[in-house]
Amino acid sequence: QVQLVQSGGAVVQPGGSLRLSCAASGFTFSNSALHWVRQAPVKGLEWLAVISYDGSHQYSADSVKGRFTISRDNSKNTLFLQMNSLRPEDTAVYYCARDHGNYIFRNGLDVWGQGTTVTVSS
């Protein structure tokens, strides 16, 4: 069964750090470009970052650049999002997702994790 299973969401204080994980199964993880997307409460989808199949290329949205880092461990079939200097406006459900295409020719996100909630509050 093709799936992404997320973990790591929590309540964290402003300025704190958190690492989200996304474990893949049922497909060849090391061939896939992967993304992070978030959704603030009662808001739309916000694209955050993408990483190439081998981790050699990444791109992050300006809203998180310099604070969040996307990475992967192909030996463990796991994607990560390291989140530092967290702000209240980072409160959201975070999703990992697989690209239907590849890093260069991206063709939609066809497999999604279940989402994990991050709350930034004192």
Tokens of 83: 């989140």
φ/ψ of 95, rounded to 5, equals -120, 140
Block residue for tokens 């299973």: 5
- Shortest spacing between CB 73 and other proteins, in angstroms: 22
In three-state secondary structure terms, 14 is coil
- Candidates 9, 10, 69, 112; binder of other proteins (CB under 8 A) is 112
- Candidates 29, 51, 113, 118; binder of other proteins (CB under 8 A) is 113
Burial environment of residue 94 by CB neighbours within 10 A (0 to 12, 13 to 18, 19 or more) = buried
Site string for other proteins, 19-38 (x = CB under 8 A): ----------------x-x-
Site string for other proteins, 44-83 (x = CB under 8 A): xxxx--x--------x-xx---------------------
Site string for other proteins, 3-22 (x = CB under 8 A): --------------------
Contacts of 104 (CB under 8 A, 6+ apart): none
- Candidates 12, 95, 118, 120; binder of other proteins (CB under 8 A) is 95
Residues that bind other proteins (CB under 8 A): 35, 37, 44-47, 50, 59, 61-62, 95, 97, 99-101, 106-110, 112-115
